[in-house]
Amino acid sequence: MGESEMPPDKFLRFLIDFQGEEGTTIDDVERIMDRVLNLSLSHMTRYVFTVNDFFHYLLNDEINGPIKTQVHHDMNAPLQHYFIYTGHNSYLTGNQLSSDSSEVPIIKALQRGVRGIELDLWPNNAKDGIHVLHGRTLTTPVTLHKCLKSIKEHAFVKSPYPVIITLEDHLTPTLQAKVAEMVTSTFGDMLYFPKESDKDEFPSPDALKHHVILSTKPPKEYLRSKNDEDDGRCSISDRYCSNEVSTSTSQPLSEFLGIDYEDDDDDIEDEKYGHLKGLEYKHLIAIHASKPKNGTRKALRDEHRKAKRLSLSEQALQRAANLYGVDIVRFTQKYILRVFPKGTRVTSTNFRPLTAWMHGAQMVAFNMQGYGRSLWMMHGMYRSNGACGYVRKPDFLLNKGPNGEVFDPKAALPVKKTLKVKVYMGDGWRLDFSQTHFDAFSPPDFYTKIYMAGVPADVAKKRTKVIGDDWTPVWNEEFTFSLRVPELALLEIVVQEYSVDKDDFAGQTCLPVSELRPGIRVVPLHNKKERNLNL
């Protein structure tokens, strides 16, 4: 056997010494080699890698990708202990003011692994049916039936963990009763009903596997009857507590001002008997939610409520983080916080999610139909934990000190980890682009930008040199990043082609630092809308 061949024992040493895969056995090695060589055991005489075989292994992202691909977090903690992959206005195909509403973006989100779907419910023109659309805008509707059917068919194609449907409800109790019938008939046993044991905290993602959960606010007529008893507080186990306007308001002006109205003009005609017609609907609500009617700080500090969810706009979250961030962290240790985009993001852009995450906000609701760096960060975070849509929050966001103290997001922190990133080379662009795509007269001039996204002290940007006239650039440059909160850090990689006028985009990806595998890894790149490139 020549030196150009690698038998299983040498490959095992490579996996342990260079790839950091401690615990790998010779049986594991043979399984990997079998996949690379595509051999049939009945016809194989021996395992051995040639140089080309070894490079096929290195460039196979399914075997040698940059991050862990299996669910490996503890999935038995209460729901509020996890970041949850969450969409905003999940039915919109484009902008927030005039695009079509459709079940298609819902399906795409679920196929990606999104676990939080938002539906805005409005009466149809005849007031006898239910449409899903961004109300008081020019968006066209889609029927609730289509949306529910699509959720049922695609909810668990990517992940077995629960799908949370948040309802922004503008319906009369009569139509709420129709929603109850549609939801129960569509989902059947998939629909989760709260149990008495859920009284004080949420169930775990593992306990809720293959279930669909409804989240909304209590109806007004119920709140009026309950206010005298318990100030409108409600529980995950209170089967008579229902329906919420759970995300952004449907009124563009109110969104622009950062206000989320409760729609007090709804349900007038049904007030006298709404508590009877809406009863079935109330039974279906497993996660009850509220808005900070009397101020955000009071809502965050109310310690007498049972399991619940609070919704804040991105502006309200930022103000609260500036003034009383510790209160947010304390709140999110027990309850769920949802943060949604401001109304001026009419083109479906998104905000930077790191402020929300570093304060423990579980449901950072994003416009999945948009694109840009903020959305790349969101997708990058949820590549964690086998891309199952649930990422367990870091211990520092969950723990309390001996005197009940919690993490202070404003506190100065020491460096916790040093990350070294070496950019060796790039290849594959010629498979995705024509020979004249970047330069009509010569091969492209590629360079790589390395960003570190995270808490403010961890943010950094570095770049390689430009390699001129080469479809397969070799950079061989190493960069070092000092990280204070590596648990929330994201490594962004963007490749561009240098141009005198404006550099051309050539691919990007975003990876969670906490999931990175050591060693020499292949990193697939994506286009701006996160579709794969054959790189």
Tens-binned pLDDT, residue by residue, of the chain (535 aa): 456 899 999 999 999 999 999 999 999 999 999 999 885 444 455 689 999 999 999 999 999 999 999 999 999 999 999 999 999 999 999 999 999 999 999 999 999 999 999 999 999 999 999 999 999 999 999 999 999 999 999 999 999 999 999 999 999 999 999 999 999 999 999 999 988 777 678 999 999 999 999 999 876 644 444 443 333 333 333 322 333 333 333 333 333 333 333 333 344 344 444 444 658 888 899 998 888 888 999 999 877 666 789 999 999 999 999 999 999 999 999 999 999 999 999 999 999 999 999 999 999 999 999 889 999 999 999 999 999 999 999 999 999 999 999 999 999 999 999 999 999 999 999 998 999 999 989 999 999 999 999 999 999 999 999 999 999 999 999 999 999 999 999 999 999 999 999 999 999 999 999 999 999 999 999 999 888 775 4
Vertex 247: Cα angle to 246 and 251 (nearest 5): 115
Domain count along the chain: 3
Contacts of 107 (CB under 8 A, 6+ apart): 150, 153, 154
Domain residues for 505? 417-515
- Is there a domain that residue 377 lies in? yes
- In this structure, the answer to whether residues 381 and 254 fall within a common structural domain is yes
Question: Among residues 81, 131, 134, 359, which one is catalytic?
Answer: 134
- In this structure, the answer to whether residues 252 and 147 fall within a common structural domain is yes
The residue from 338, 364, 398 where one domain ends is 398
C-beta separation of 507 from 448 below 8 A: no
- In this structure, the answer to whether residues 59 and 179 fall within a common structural domain is no
437 catalytic per annotation: no
Nearest of 276, 326, 273, 281 to residue 300 by alpha carbon? 326
- In this structure, the answer to whether residues 280 and 313 fall within a common structural domain is yes
Burial of 297 (0-12, 13-18, 19+ CB in 10 A): middle
Report d(CA 102, CA 275) in Å as an integer: 32
- In this structure, the answer to whether residues 205 and 85 fall within a common structural domain is yes
The residue from 23, 40, 64 where one domain ends is 64
- Is there a domain that residue 532 lies in? no
Question: Cα 292 vs. chain centroid, distance in angstroms?
Answer: 24
How do 212-216 and 363-366 pair as beta strands? Answer: unpaired
Question: Cα 337 vs. chain centroid, distance in angstroms?
Answer: 14
- In this structure, the answer to whether residues 252 and 195 fall within a common structural domain is yes
C-beta separation of 494 from 447 below 8 A: no
134 catalytic per annotation: yes
How do 417-425 and 390-392 pair as beta strands? Answer: unpaired
Question: Among residues 88, 131, 288, 379, which one is catalytic?
Answer: 88
- Is there a domain that residue 504 lies in? yes
Domain at 495, CATH number = 2.60.40.150
Report d(CA 65, CA 528) in Å as an integer: 20
Report d(CA 341, CA 352) in Å as an integer: 10
For the chain, the straight-line distance linking the first and the last C-alpha, in angstroms and rounded, comes to 32
- In this structure, the answer to whether residues 270 and 159 fall within a common structural domain is yes
C-beta separation of 194 from 284 below 8 A: no
- Is there a domain that residue 70 lies in? no
- In this structure, the answer to whether residues 237 and 324 fall within a common structural domain is yes
- In this structure, the answer to whether residues 368 and 264 fall within a common structural domain is yes
Domain at 320, CATH number = 3.20.20.190
- Is there a domain that residue 73 lies in? no
For residue 111, which phi and psi values (nearest 5 degrees)?
-65, -25
Quote the radius of gyration of the chain (alpha carbons, Å).
25
The DSSP letter of residue 250 is S
Predicted TM-score of the model (pTM): 0.89
